[in-house]
Amino acid sequence: MPAQGRTLVRAAGLLAALRAVSCCDLAAADESGLSFWLQGTFGSFAAVPNEPGWSFDNTYYHAMAATSGGARVPRGGRIHGELKSPSDLFMFTPTYTFATPVLGGQAAVGISATYGRNTSSAAESVARLGGPVLSEARSDSVVGFGDLDPFAMLKWNLGVNNVMVYATAGVPVGAYDPNLLSSMGTGHWAADAGVGYTYFNEQVGFEASAVLGFTYNFINPYTQYQSGVDAHLDVAVSPWVSEKMHVGMVGYIYRQVTGDSGPGARLGEFKSRVVGVGPQIGFFFPFADRQGYLNVKAFQEYNGQNRLEGWTAYVTFSVQPPERKSANSAGKQ
């Protein structure tokens, strides 16, 4: 791979890592059959260090999700079956990467904001929480801002090996009403942290990334429901087909490792899980005096339990800082 490839990959690395910490703003955690963490958003080059300075990441996210296999989900004050909840989100993530090393690694901080629409419908409401059994159709939708997700991360490069640690939090300021099926906020605080690894070999044009994280959900004060601890693993494999394009596969495994609790947890532990897999393609190009990157990827979900499942797609455009040149490299491309 030519020298330009390293600069482009550094841009993609920031995209892959920072989009991943903009977490799910669709509804209240596992309590509603969805998790705080938006699975599959860590991707290729996730742990590769980046160019210092400001970067800006813009993502359109579309999901078609529904319950399956007779699953029941508590949402909107009732327990529902046959729940469908498509969503369209636009996420904006400004990030600043520091030039000065921290603990021998590269530090970055930022925040992710979300605006979008979530529509939900339930063909059957099988039981009211604490009340009589009901049967009815119900639907509603919400358009507005989601929760804010500040984050920080550190990355280290050791030749073809790259390592990352990250931490993020969910600040519950998004549109949320515990009596509605649809929501743009979680209704509660959450914290997530994890580690990542990327193998990137410039000579052969191949990379493989994996990021493991855990989410702690605080109790929802509106429903007195506390979702359990969630584990998530995002993986990606991506060979290069040219110096400006890569293709590959992406996937994730999500599993709730502790049960739900609190007075509002009427279905008991309600542990959930799901697996997703799909293709991706990425393009690099100049954008004014900066680096541009466009990534498209999609996932089909399988083996879902106690949660909504279906398919999701991401279209992300990222603008990164230009490559910094040293005195020895000035004038070289």
Task: Measure the CA–CA gap between 138 and 21, rounded to whole angstroms.
Answer: 32
Judge contact between 177 and 22, C-beta under 8 A.
no
More confident residue, 319 or 332: 319
Instruction: Fill in the amino acid letter for 20.
Output: A
Asked if residue 326 is part of any domain, the answer here is no
Asked if residue 196 is part of any domain, the answer here is yes
Tens digits of per-residue pLDDT, 220-233?
999 898 999 999 99
332 pLDDT above the threshold of 60: no
Instruction: Fill in the amino acid letter for 33.
Output: G
State if pTM tops 0.85.
no
Asked if residue 116 is part of any domain, the answer here is yes
**Residue written as tokens 């939900």?**
120
Helices and strands counted in the chain (H then E): 1, 15
Judge contact between 26 and 280, C-beta under 8 A.
no
Q: For residue 151, what are the β-bridge partners?
A: 110, 168
**Residue written as tokens 């969910």?**
170
For residues 10-36, give the mean pLDDT: 52
For residues 151-162, give the mean pLDDT: 96
Asked if residue 327 is part of any domain, the answer here is no
Task: Measure the CA–CA gap between 68 and 61, rounded to whole angstroms.
Answer: 22
Asked if residue 146 is part of any domain, the answer here is yes
Instruction: Fill in the amino acid letter for 247.
Output: V
15 pLDDT above the threshold of 90: no
Asked if residue 329 is part of any domain, the answer here is no
Lowest mean pLDDT among 19-23, 28-32, 46-50, 51-55: 19-23
45 pLDDT above the threshold of 60: yes
Distances (CA, A) of 14 to 21, 200, 213, 299: 11, 14, 17, 21
Asked if residue 56 is part of any domain, the answer here is yes
- For residue 200, the model assigns a pLDDT of 94
Q: How many domains does the chain have?
A: 1
Asked if residue 18 is part of any domain, the answer here is yes
Lowest mean pLDDT among 79-88, 236-245, 256-265: 79-88
- For residue 13, the model assigns a pLDDT of 59
pLDDT, averaged across the chain: 83
Tens digits of per-residue pLDDT, 120-153?
887 655 555 555 555 667 788 999 999 999 999 9
For residues 99-120, give the mean pLDDT: 95
Residue 290 belongs to domain spanning: 3-320
The CATH number of whichever domain residue 279 belongs to comes to 2.40.160.40
- For residue 10, the model assigns a pLDDT of 58
Q: For residue 311, what are the β-bridge partners?
A: 64, 300
Task: Measure the CA–CA gap between 130 and 264, rounded to whole angstroms.
Answer: 10
Most confident of 38-47, 130-139, 186-195: 186-195
More confident residue, 83 or 80: 83
168 pLDDT above the threshold of 50: yes
Judge contact between 29 and 35, C-beta under 8 A.
yes
198 pLDDT above the threshold of 90: yes
First-to-last C-alpha distance (Å) of the chain: 13
